[in-house]
Structures are given as C-alpha cells and as structure tokens.
Structure 1
C-alpha cells in the first residue's frame, strides 16, 4: 500500500499525528494563554511526539526538527476572542467615566458642605456679635441710668442742703428780728424798702405816723445819765 502511493500516505499519517498532538496541546490551557505563549511550546511538543512515534519508525521516517512560523486563530475565533476584550475595555471605560462622575459629584458635595459650613460659621459669629453689641448697649444704658440716678441724688442732696441752710438762716434772722424793738424793726423795714427802690418821687408822712415813730423812739431809747 505504501509503495503505490507512498508520499500521500506519509503526508496523511503525519497530518493525523500533528492534528492529534495539536489538539492535545490546545486542551492544556485557555486559547488566550496558548496564543500569548506563541508557537514555540507547540513546536516543542509536536517535535517530541513525532520523534517518539513508533509508526513513523516502522516506515523508516525519523522527525528531527519541526518549524512553526506562526500560531494565530482563525478570523471567527479572533472575533470571538476580541469580543470579551472589547467588552472589558468598554466596561473599564464606563467604570472610569462613572468614577470620574462620582468624584466630580463628591467634590461638588464637599464644596457645597464647605460653603454651608462657612455660612453657618459666619451666621454664628454675626449672632455672637449682635448679642455682644446688645449686651454692651444694655451695660451702657444701665451705667448711664445709674450715673443719672447718682447725679440726681447728688443734686437733690445739694438742693436740700442749700434749702436747709436758707431755712436756718431765715430762722436765725427771724429770731433776731423777734427780739428787736418795734422802732428798730421799723427802721430796718424802711432801709429794706429804700434798697428796693431806685428813686422816691413822693413820700407822705402824716402827723400821726410821725408821732408814733417818735414815741416809739423815745420809749426804746436808753435814758441819758444826768449830770
């Protein structure tokens, strides 16, 4: 059989062994890992399997080396492999967008909270200032009222002292006047009247008034000693 079509049978035998070895290799790991590993691990495994195959030795074939130029998926497999990658990239992009938006929202929230805290602190300080100003105004009003009260009390005391002194002076003068003779009182009254008048245009002295005054004067005058 090998003599009739030797080349074709050898190719078929080699293709079967290579396909079987390749399938065994592909079953060892995920496709992505095998593609990332490149053709060298597969070449080494094929070389080991074919070099030790007894069927090839029976027909006088010995495999010394195998050359693999590339290890690439088919177009359908490549699209299937790229789909998760694209989806993963899209998910990462969406996640990054979401994180950026969340960070922006968090920053805006922090800014709003900071502004609110500043406004609250300003309002608190303003309230403290208003309270302090009101307290100062009350203290000033209280101090002014107390000062006015003290001043009023001092003025009242001064007035009482002056009036008391006037009353005592008047009382003393009345006491002096009470003990004076009528003629002296009349003279003092005349002098007081004269001090109140700027000019005297007319003065009427009746005989009765003159007699009364002279009589009082003679009665109150001290007696002269006789020689």
Structure 2
C-alpha cells in the first residue's frame, strides 16, 4: 500500500514500484504511474492504487462427472493487472486519503471473477468425462481448458486483467469414493503381500526342512562312522589278540625247543660224564688189579677219609693203633 504522510492542509503520497497510482485533482488527471510521490489536498484529490505485480490465486473448484460423482479440482491461477487505467474504471481501487487504504475490496472482486470463470470451464470439461477418466486425464484437460478460457475471456480483457499462468494440482473425488476406488488396488496389493508372505514362509519352511534333513544326514553319517570306528577297533583288538597269541605260540615253541635242546645237551653231557666216569673207574680198577688187600684197604680208607667232613680232633686209642699195626705187619 502507498504511504500517506499527513501535514497541515496537505498530504504526501509515496508508492512502490509494484503499485500503479492514479491521482485526479478536481476531476482531472494529475498523476498516473508506478513509483509515484507527490503532494495532494485531501478535499480535492481522488486517489486509486492498483497492484501491477503477479498475483497468485488458489482455487478449490467443485464439479460433477458424467457418472454423477462429485470431484474437487485444486488449481492456482497467476494473473496481473495489465492495463491499470482501464482496470481503475471497471473496479473500485480508490484509496481513503486519510488512511491510504482501499475503500472497497477490489482484489476480492477480481478473485471472485476469476474463480467463477474458471469454475465454468472446469464444469464444462468434467461434465463430459466419466470418473476414472476425470481422475486420470482431468488434470491436463482442466489446465488446458482453464488457460484457454481465461485467455479468451473478453470480460477479463475489458477489465484490464491478463492471465500469466494456470496450474491444476489435483482432481480428487470425495474421500469415501476415493477410498472405494483404491480398494481393488489395496486388495490386490494386500493379496500380493499375502502371497509374498506365504511364499516367504514356505521358503522358510523349506529351508528349515533342508536344515533338518542335513542334520539328520549328518547324524546318520556320524552314526555310520561310529559303527565303522567300533568295528575297526574290534578288528584291531582281534588282530592284537591274534598277534599276541601268535607271539606267545612262537615264544612257547622257541622255549620248548630251547628246553629240548638243553635237555638233550644235559643228557649228552651226563652220558659223556658217565662214560668218562666209567672209563676212569675201569682204569682205576685195572690199576689196582693184583694189589694186596691191605693196600686196597688203605686206599679205600684214604678215599673214604676224603669224603668225610672235616675232623677237628681225632682220638686214637691204643687198641685201635695196635690192631691196625698188627694187620699191617701181618704176612
């Protein structure tokens, strides 16, 4: 808005570069243009201020499709005042000289004009489309129709307005209808999700079964190897017993043979000793053959004495010595 400074008997107005100010003094044009700054008398001046920058107007339009379903169109229209002098004659943009504010609501009047015009074009487009087509193609069709209709609207041109851009964000039905339309898709997605869950569970069960089978096979293989180990241990023990028995047999045979050889050697030695003793005895007997009995007795006593134990003291009585000497001198 323009800045109006109050002084005694006069006022000073200063506008911005985005506002167009029109000043009439006593019915005649005194100032017009953007970025104006001038003095004026409030009793003789008429002021109008028009914004010339681009203005955004959000629109929420309602329409009905060919199958009688209500939809909502969310759009935005960008416009500007292209001919401020013309617009000032069609819409009330006059300012209060004391406050610098609009006496009316010109922008709301322009917004109403644009909304009603866009609403008519939206109704024309969506009335000939079924709901599904309106939801899929309605954004592009309504945007094109709103743009073409506002550009061709003579009332807007006669008001000094120009369309900059028109955008349609969404075409949506009522929440209940939208939920009903999304139900098949949600059901399909839920079915796919359930199928994926079932497949994942089946895969998990299959993996568990494979793991159980692997564990069972491992246990069977372990039992088989334990059986082989027990059998091998038994065979090793039997082989050890057999080897020990064979070793014992060999050792027994060797000892028997050794004992037999020792017995044979002892027998041979005894035979040789007997033969030697017999030969010695025969030689001794041959040596004493023809020897007198007294000599033989003496030899016998000597030999007997050699076989007697040691005698510490020998007592000879006269009788024994006399008898022995008598037998020695006897012829």
The reply to whether residue 13 of structure 1 matches residue 125 of structure 2 is yes
Answer with 1 or 2: which has the greater Rg: 2
Q: Distance in 2 between matches of 1:52 and 1:8?
A: 13
Q: Evaluate the alpha carbon distance shift between residue 51 and residue 12 of structure 1 in structure 2; reply closer, same or farther with a 3 A threshold.
A: closer
Q: Using the alignment, how far apart are the partners of 2:262 and 2:124 within structure 1?
A: 138
What are the superposed Cα offsets for residues 105-134 of structure 1, whole Å, 9 maximum, x if unpaired?
111111221222133123213312321232
Secondary structure of the corresponding residue to residue 66 of structure 1: strand
Shift of 1:104: 0.9
Cα separation, 2, equivalents of 1:14 and 1:117? 82
What's the counterpart of residue 95 of structure 2?
none
1:38-53 mapped onto 2 (5 Å cutoff): 46=139, 49-53=141-145
Deviation readout 1:54-112 (Å, 9 max, x if unpaired): 65447749744434678754333432332232122212211211111111111111122
Structure 1 residues 150, 142: CA separation in 2 closer, same or farther (over 3 Å shift)? Answer: same
Alignment gaps of 5+ in structure 1: 1-5, 25-44, 196-223
Which of 185, 190, 195 in structure 2 is aligned with 1:87?
Answer: 195
The structure where helix makes up a greater share of residues is 1
CA distance in 1 between counterparts of 2:132 and 2:286 reads 163
> What is the Cα-based RMSD across aligned positions, in Å?
3.9
Aligned equivalents of 1:67, 1:52: Cα separation in 2: 14
Q: Which residue of 2 aligns with 1:216?
A: none
1:144 aligns with 2:252: yes
- Tell me, yes or no, if the aligned pair for 1:50 and 1:63 is still in contact at 8 Å: no
Name the one with the larger strand percent.
2
Residue 265 (structure 2) pairs with residue 157 (structure 1): yes
Is the alpha carbon distance of 1:90 and 1:56 closer, same or farther for their aligned partners in structure 2, counting shifts above 3 Å?
A: farther
Would you say 1:23 and 2:131 are equivalent positions? no
Picking from 50, 63, 66, the partner of 2:169 is 66
Please, what TM-score do these two structures have when normalized by structure 2?
Answer: 0.40
The 2-side partners of 1:83 and 1:19 are apart by 23
Give the 5 Å matches for 1:170-185. Answer: 170-177=278-285, 180-181=289-290
